[in-house]
Amino acid sequence: MKKIINLTKTFFLNSSREFAVPFWTIIFPTLFFILFVSIFENIGTSENLDLKVGIYYEEPLQGVIKTTFDDVFSPSESNHIPFQVEEYDSFEKGLQNLKNSEINVFVVFPENFNLLNLKFLIETIEVPDIKVYYTNDSASMYAKDIFEIFLDEMNIMMYTRGEEVKLTVNEEIIGIKQSEPYRYRDFLFPAIILMSVLTVAVFNMPIYFSYYVEKGVFKRLNSTPIKGNEYFFSFLLSHLILLLLSLIVLYVEAYLFDVNPDIYKPEFIAYSGFSILVILSVGLLLSSLYKNMGSAEAISQVIYQATIFLSGFYFEVTNTPWFIRWYVYFNPVTYLLDGMRKLMTGNVLVPVNIIVPVIWMVASILIFSMSYKGMVYHEK
């Protein structure tokens, strides 16, 4: 046990001294998450959406209220209204269209709302609130916020006409109840975890192994008290410690960015640990295939980039052309990433999220065990 602890400490300190190892394993995924969330989470905001607001009048607007409303919401070039206004003659139809996402917000001007015209003269008159219905969809919430900004403009216009009557709004959210909308940061976070693991499995481990093969390290182990299994266990343990540090940093970042709290659930953490074991097993398999550092660096780069872009890290990849889609379904990371996202959204894992990665893990360990002697044989 003492030999394993000392070996693990040696491996860990040796890899930590090289700036590239902690940078690509810990620092780069952290910076990458910040950069991509800052850029891509804003795509699809109100400036890029085709927003629609449905309006239903329980009785037609009249007087100053109608004039003010027409001035603010008329589709003129000077108003720059960022949404389309559609009138409904039925409350039920408008509400149903909102539920079907055919409109983003449904606004109801209630009966007796025209009493607001008299409130200019008689302050004690009670005027019913405008009712704004929306869903927990991001576009719907954007549209609701923007519509209320234009209502504030109506208040300003009435105030400039010498009146101090304020429109009041009653909001109501409808539709499927969810704690939080699914945001890009939630979509990206599992991918960033696996990016850190892939860096270790596809780059660090194979390059170190190929270096040891070139230097004849494995043959020299035969003349030392260190057993092969102790050596490999310590080597893997040192990289697991590095990954643990990376995960701690990423979880701190997730807390600061308010990522979906489901990432703290035991099932998500357990499946993340399972994913790490699978990918590290594949890393052992890759390590046994390289005979020198040159091939390790070149091929690892190709595998890393193909895995990153064809596993759904940044966007959906199931609609890619058939001649590259095979890699999407062949790649175990596709199923691991899908499983992590299922757990984040409260869905249940399907068998393929377990079976395919287990097949890869078992096959990788078996192939590495059988090819180890051949790897040592090719040492210089």
Count CB neighbours of 216 within 10 A.
12
The total number of residues written for the chain in this structure: 380
Among 173, 190, 217, the domain boundary falls at 173
First-to-last CA distance in the chain? 30
Given this model, what pLDDT does residue 282 score?
92
Residues 196 and 321 in one domain: yes
Domain boundary among 173, 203, 228: 173
Residue by residue, DSSP assigns 232-293 as HHHHHHHHHHHHHHHHHHHHHHHHHTT--GGGGSHHHHHHHHHHHHHHHHHHHHHHTT-SSH
Query: 158 is in which domain, residue-wise?
Result: 51-173
Please check whether residues 190 and 59 belong to one and the same domain.
Answer: no
DSSP 41-106: TTTTSTTTS-EEEEEEESS---HHHHHHHHHHHS--TTT--SEEEEEES-HHHHHHHHHTTSSSEE
Examine the domain organization and report whether 143 and 60 are in the same domain. Answer: yes
Number of domains in the chain: 2
Q: What kind and span of H or E run contains 209?
A: helix 205-215
Verify that 358 and 246 share a domain, yes or no.
yes
Model confidence over 244-283: pLDDT tens digits?
999 999 999 999 988 989 999 999 999 999 999 999 999 8
Statement to judge: residues 199 and 240 lie in one domain: yes
Residue 218: what pLDDT?
67
Position 46 in a domain = no
In this structure, the answer to whether residues 127 and 202 fall within a common structural domain is no
Residue 209 shares a structural domain with residue 346: yes
Contact 332, 197 (CB under 8 A): no
211 in a structural domain: yes
Q: Which of 151, 173, 195 is the last residue of a domain?
A: 173
pLDDT at 24 (0 to 100)? 73
Domain at 115, CATH number: 3.40.1710.10
Both 362 and 214 in one domain: the answer is yes
pLDDT in tens, 318-346: 667 777 888 888 999 999 999 999 998 88
**143: nearest Cα among 131, 135, 154:** 135
Say yes or no: 96 and 145 in one domain.
yes
The pLDDT of residue 67: 81
Residues of the chain scoring pLDDT < 50: 44-48, 77-78, 176-180, 380
CB 173 within 8 A of CB 134: yes
- Asked if 244 and 327 sit in the same domain, the reply is yes
Q: Are residues 312 and 209 in the same domain?
A: yes
Are 371 and 287 within 8 A, CB to CB?
Answer: no
Claim to verify: residue 200 and residue 145 sit in the same structural domain: no
